[in-house]
Structure 1
Amino acid sequence: MGKVAFHTLGCKVNQYETDAMLQLFENNGYKVIPFNEVSDIYIINTCTVTNMADKKSRQIINKAKKTNPDSIIVVVGCYAQAAKEKLELDKDIDIVIGNNKKNDILNIVEDYIKEKKIEDTVIDINDTDIYEPLSITKVSEKTRAYIKIQDGCNQFCSYCIIPFMRGRVRSRLPEEVIKEVEALVKNGYKEVVLTGIHLASYGKDLVDIHILDLLKELNKIQDLKRIRLGSLEPNLITEEFAKEVSSIEKLCPHFHLSLQSGCNETLKRMNRKYTTESYLDKVEILRKYYNKPAITTDIIVGFPGETEEEFNETYEFTRKISFSDVHVFKYSKREGTKAADFTNQVEEKVKTFRSNKLIQCCNALKEKYLEDMKGEIEEVLFEETITIDDKDYCMGHTKRYVKVGIISDEDISNQLINVELLERKDDLLFGRKQ
């Protein structure tokens, strides 16, 4: 067996799938090495969410071939799904594997090594209802494991290519998720983060299964300490849902509710299926059932047709919600989406100005949220040691995903410790053990 190296671009779902593929090779005798070293096989798990993501994928492919011109280059994932024919013409690439075929990657690579033959490595992703059977028992992080429980999306937002690359909604059976989490907990992981392409759709393709049912079962796993949800659509949040999840003790009070715009006209053009009024209702429901829940989101600025007035609506709505953290993105045209053909594309300099202005606002909101947390006693899952101003701090996250540091003479990584939060510095809180 030879050496294999992996590189991941894109989302947490991609990282999960890379971890699963890595374990397939490792369990079959391959030596996994860092990507910048000379390897026999390079596997690049690609992203295609924007044109820039395509460009980054090509750069990584070129880098691998330069590191070892005699290596086998394997391109997998969303960019492979989107540009199969183009990539197969590239002389630097040996194997192209699309989505829902990653579980076959070991056999595909070994068949290629033996016979230089490749068959059926990219399927019609829009013509499958099968959830790809991948699993992990360890991950690259030491304390927190991201668990993929769902694939595909039926939303078709006008700016997004992902439904065409990932196919329709497909959910993982609850018993398979539970089995995987139990294995991770046995290996020492205390927190799991449930992820998917459209997490709020989990269970819609199964019989009488809702994400609440899965959360309740995971909550019963004895040595699992925390369950965290990935990005959610706001329409998932109802009075009944909030009441139910607030009784699940291990679920973290951290909700990443996708917003994208705080202007109803922009939301219509995006084909988002909610209004700012309904979004505000969802946030108020969560705040009714949780004390100081972390409400985080993503916002796109400079979407085609966004006027100054529309941007100001987003700006004011962001302040009104008072998020604890926001990821601000400038709109990036993605060929193959409806929005790429919209007229009134916003100039880059205008997008940059709006982005900078909104980021300043969101930074202030985050600082306010952190200031409000001072004086609280919070449970922190410690992860690493970092040096700040010549002092070594053990760093970790609270259930609300606030980053906290304390000075400790002992290694407390992967331990849960109650900490009194005393002072803030930038986007960190510092405290002392209780």
Structure 2
Amino acid sequence: MKRVAFYTLGCKVNQYETEAISEMFEKAGYRIVDFEQEADVYVINTCTVTNLSDRKSRQMIRRAKRNNEDSIVIVVGCYAQTAPQEVSEIEGVNMVVGTRDRSRIIEYLEELESFGGRRNYVEDIMKTREFEELGVDVYKERTRAFIKIQEGCNQFCTYCIIPYARGPVRSRSEENILKEVAGLAQSGYKEIVLTGIHVASYGKDIKTTSLVEIMKKVHEVEGIERIRLGSIEPTTVTEEFVEAIKGMEKLCPQFHISLQSGCDSTLKRMNRKYTTKEYLRSVRLLRDNLKDVAITTDVMVGFPGETDEEFNETYRFLEEVFFSNMHVFKYSRRKGTPAASYPNQVSPQKKEERSRKLIELASNMTLKYNRGFIGKTLPVLFEQEVKGKEGFMEGLTPNYIRVECRGNKDIEGEILDVQLKETENDFIIGEIVR
């Protein structure tokens, strides 16, 4: 039996796609092994969000060949799509696929094995109009299942390479989404996370459905107890949207609403399609209508032209909104994006300083948010054993608080009531209510 190993860089969508590709290999008779083991085929699913992502992708390609110099190395994903020639010239790469036609990867591999040489199957993603089906039957983890419902992005933020890596918006059919959700429910998954490159755009290209419509239909699937949304835009959260989701008991009250900056002039240079006032309105709509709602976000520091005053504006806005969790990252200059040629690029030292301040703020906000739930009892979906802490399991509440408590592995995948006792770093220590 031939062996195949996988390595995934980047987002949840990439992780979903790797799961789908690994299933294809299993159905073709391959045995999946760990990436550090010797394999006949290595598949590296790349990311290109930052220069660091590109570098990490190249490192993993080289590591695969060191594990077995006679192996076939296949590179897929965003870095492969945006720089196919560069990737194909890396020593050890046998095949480059990109972000489309992954469903034909076994067919391409058979061609390569028959005729040899190097193969580059990357085509112009901007001309692609169909959603490529890459369904998943069984996840390696048996707790939460990610469902990719949408591909591509039409936003063209000035710092972002992803529209060029993923192409225009394509929505998956309701029929195929619901079929996959029903199959996962039968396999014992209790939580479904609806994800995509720009989830808020779901249905914009096919007009017969919308994000709210597919959420309603997933909500009706028997066996699914929780539904979680991937990252959405503040413009998604309208009065109509909130009214529609109020009655969805399975929908987790946690919304990741992308911000990037808390300064209007910076948002304008980024080509973000909202103002801080509109963002705050969306947050208030959710808080006024949903109990215990958690708002999480992404914030970028060091965007070209970001002055000390603009950064301070962002800091004050973050305090005003008050997030339960915040991902802070530094602007990375991406060749091929408008912002790469903007004047007044911010120094690495300044980015580091600003990043440190926001990470500290994020930590304080998470602690304060978590403390508000001490003494309460919330349902926790247990995901895994706590690393380095024998006899402890960890999981998430509906509003995305990470909880650790005493328990055995047999509660993995179960939703149990837990009394929240005390905060520790960015999680809460709890006790299962028997």
Matched residue, 2:410 = 411
Residue 183, structure 1, aligned to residue 183, structure 2? yes
Secondary structure at 1:66's aligned position in 2?
Answer: helix
CA contact (8 A) 1:108 1:118 kept: no
What code does the residue aligned with 1:126 have?
Answer: M
Matched residue, 1:132 = 132
CA contact (8 A) 2:231 2:257 kept: yes
What code does the residue aligned with 1:14 have?
Answer: N
Task: For 1:241 and 1:322, locate their aligned partners in 2 and report how far apart those are by CA, in whole Å.
Answer: 22
Q: Report how far residue 116 of structure 1 moved.
A: 2.3
- The change in CA–CA distance for 1:409 and 1:21 in structure 2 (over 3 A counts) is closer
Q: Report how far residue 300 of structure 1 moved.
A: 0.2
CA contact (8 A) 2:391 2:408 kept: no
CA contact (8 A) 2:397 2:403 kept: yes
Matches of residues 183-262 of structure 1 in structure 2 within 5 Å?
183-262=183-262
Q: Report how far residue 89 of structure 1 moved.
A: 2.7
Matched residue, 1:381 = 381
Matched residue, 1:342 = 342
Matched residue, 2:421 = 422
Identical aligned pairs, as a percentage?
A: 48
Q: Deviations over 1:69-93 (max 9, x none)?
A: 1110111111111111222233411
Residue 71, structure 1, aligned to residue 71, structure 2? yes
Matched residue, 2:102 = 102
Q: Report how far residue 399 of structure 1 moved.
A: 0.5
Task: For 1:245 and 1:59, locate their aligned partners in 2 and report how far apart those are by CA, in whole Å.
Answer: 44
Q: Report how far residue 97 of structure 1 moved.
A: 0.4
Task: For 2:405 and 2:57, locate their aligned partners in 1 and report how far apart those are by CA, in whole Å.
Answer: 39
Task: For 1:386 and 1:227, locate their aligned partners in 2 and report how far apart those are by CA, in whole Å.
Answer: 24
Matches of residues 20-419 of structure 1 in structure 2 within 5 Å?
20-116=20-116, 121-386=121-386, 392-408=391-407, 411-419=410-418
Task: For 1:433 and 1:34, locate their aligned partners in 2 and report how far apart those are by CA, in whole Å.
Answer: 34
What code does the residue aligned with 1:420 have?
Answer: Q
Secondary structure at 1:373's aligned position in 2?
Answer: coil
Q: Deviations over 1:46-105 (max 9, x none)?
A: 111111111111000011111111110111111111111222233411101011111111
Task: For 1:399 and 1:183, locate their aligned partners in 2 and report how far apart those are by CA, in whole Å.
Answer: 22
Q: Report how far residue 369 of structure 1 moved.
A: 0.3
CA contact (8 A) 1:111 1:117 kept: no
What code does the residue aligned with 2:405 have?
Answer: I
Q: Deviations over 1:195-253 (max 9, x none)?
A: 10000000001132011111111111111111100100110000110111121111100
Structure 2, unmatched stretches of 5+, are: none
- The change in CA–CA distance for 1:275 and 1:71 in structure 2 (over 3 A counts) is same
TM superposition outliers: structure 1 runs of 4+ over 6 Å = 117-120
Task: For 2:408 and 2:331, locate their aligned partners in 1 and report how far apart those are by CA, in whole Å.
Answer: 46
Secondary structure at 1:272's aligned position in 2?
Answer: coil
Q: Deviations over 1:284-315 (max 9, x none)?
A: 00001111211000000011000000000000
CA contact (8 A) 1:305 1:346 kept: yes
Task: For 1:361 and 1:103, locate their aligned partners in 2 and report how far apart those are by CA, in whole Å.
Answer: 43
Task: For 1:285 and 1:417, locate their aligned partners in 2 and report how far apart those are by CA, in whole Å.
Answer: 30
CA contact (8 A) 2:74 2:95 kept: yes
Task: For 1:130 and 1:175, locate their aligned partners in 2 and report how far apart those are by CA, in whole Å.
Answer: 15
Task: For 1:319 and 1:198, locate their aligned partners in 2 and report how far apart those are by CA, in whole Å.
Answer: 26
Secondary structure at 2:372's aligned position in 1?
Answer: helix
Provide TM-score, normalisation by structure 1.
Answer: 0.97
